[in-house]
Each structure stands twice: as C-alpha cells, then as structure tokens.
C-alpha cells in the first residue's frame, strides 16, 4: 500500500514539469512581457541541522534566486502568467563541519495587478531537494523526492518594473529513507513551508 501511494505521488509530481514546459513554450495567444529576475530571502520549515553558534538550517530557507518570463493574458496587462526557474539554498558552518540544503524550484504564478499593487497565486515544483551534512569528516546525504507545493504572494511596484513583496510557500519534502530530525524524531517527511520577502526586476 505504501509503495503504491509513493508511486501515485511520483506520477502526479511528474505532471508538473510537463505542464510547465507546455505553458512556458507553447503559443497561448498571449503577449510576451519580458524577462524577470527575482531574489528572495525566506524563513521557516523544520530544522534540518542546528549548530552551537545558534545558526539553524531550516527546510524552508534561505536564499532563492530566479529568472522567469512574463506573459500578458489580457490587453490592459492587468493579468499575467509568470513561468520561472530558481535556485534555493542555505548552509550553516560549525567548527566540526557544515550542512547544506538546496533545490531547484520551477514556478508558475498567475498575477493580477491593479495600479502598483499585485497579487499572485500558483504552483511550485522543487527539483532535486538535497540535504548534505559533514561532521568530523563524515558526510551524510539525503535526496528527497521532487515535490509540488503552492505559492501566494503580494507585491508593490516601487519603480518601473521593480517590485518589492512578500511570498508564502507551502510545500512538504519526502524521502524514501527515514531521516533523524534534530529533535530525535524519525520521519521521511519534512515541512518546507516558508515566508519570505522578495524583489523582482523586469526587462
């Protein structure tokens, strides 16, 4: 039963890259609005590693850098679709080792704009989420399955095509093998939810 459930989850997750490619590259009777660069700093999620210096490695943080493309869906440009690829990563260092967590999010966001204010909602699909820790010369690695989640964001245009905003990411990572959490719990699921602040620039 568990294997069947995991197989169904993987089959569902594989649909997203196909949909992403279809929407990003097929003609949609839309007008291309241009390239968008995005940077986000995010916080949240389960603790994956804790070091004595007080720095924690959490499954929802830290830096998220991306490039995307906007498509206007109507004549007045108040509704647009953004397709993008990002690199999200974080690391902590200690005297006896270090730990990193990184992944490649693919985003599809429907954005509604009224004046300088925008609201967006969409899907995010995280490719190759990988946690790696080295302690006293010994390295361990956990490769999570590709995961699909949801995005909500709100932004304000502070200059021409430059936007500041807040974003919520709702996602869960799952691995085929158990993971020992910092609190001693053994699980194969990790909460990757986060809330962040972003800046985007269009060209």
How many structural domains compose the chain? Answer: 1
Task: Give the torsion through C-alpha atoms of 188, 189, 192, 193, to 10 deg.
Answer: -170
Taking CB atoms within 8 Å and a gap of at least 24, the contacts of 131-140 are 131/48, 131/99, 131/100, 131/101, 131/179, 132/99, 132/100, 132/101, 133/49, 133/97, 133/98, 133/99, 133/100, 134/97, 134/98, 134/99, 135/96, 135/97, 136/96, 136/97, 137/97
Token pair 């440009």: residue: 77
**What would the mean pLDDT of 128-156 be, rounded to a whole number?**
92
- Which residue range is the domain that position 123 belongs to? 2-202
Q: Give the pLDDT mean for 62-74.
A: 94
The yes-or-no verdict on residue 4 having pLDDT over 50 is no
The Cα–Cα gap between 12 and 52 comes to: 40
Q: Over the stretch 160-180, which tens digit does the pLDDT of each residue have?
A: 889 999 999 999 999 988 877
Residues 92, 86: Cα–Cα separation, whole Å: 20
Q: Name the pLDDT band for 16 (thresholds 50, 70, 90).
A: low
Q: What CATH number is attached to the domain comprising 110?
A: 2.40.160.20
Cα 202 versus chain centre, distance: 20
> Is the pLDDT score of 112 beyond 50?
yes
**pLDDT recorded at residue 13:** 59
pTM comes to 0.84
């Amino acid at each position: 039963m568990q294997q069947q459930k995991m197989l169904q989850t993987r089959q569902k997750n594989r649909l997203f890259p196909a949909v992403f490619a279809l929407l990003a590259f097929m003609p949609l009777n839309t007008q291309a609005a241009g390239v968008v660069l995005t940077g986000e700093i995010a916080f949240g999620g389960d603790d994956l590693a804790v070091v004595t210096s007080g720095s924690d490695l959490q499954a929802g943080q830290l830096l998220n850098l991306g490039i995307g493309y906007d498509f206007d869906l109507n004549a007045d440009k108040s509704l647009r679709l953004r397709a993008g690829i990002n690199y999200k990563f974080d690391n902590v260092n200690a005297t006896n080792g270090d730990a990193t967590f990184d992944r490649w999010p693919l985003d599809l966001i429907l954005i509604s704009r009224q004046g300088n204010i925008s609201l967006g909602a969409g899907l995010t699909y995280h490719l190759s989420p990988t946690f790696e820790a080295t302690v006293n010369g010994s390295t361990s690695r956990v490769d999570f399955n590709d995961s699909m989640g949801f995005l909500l964001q709100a932004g304000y245009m502070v200059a021409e095509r430059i936007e500041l905003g807040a974003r919520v990411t709702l996602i869960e990572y799952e691995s085929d093998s158990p993971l020992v959490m910092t609190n001693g719990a053994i699980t194969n699921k990790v909460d990757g939810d986060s809330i962040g602040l972003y800046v985007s620039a269009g060209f």
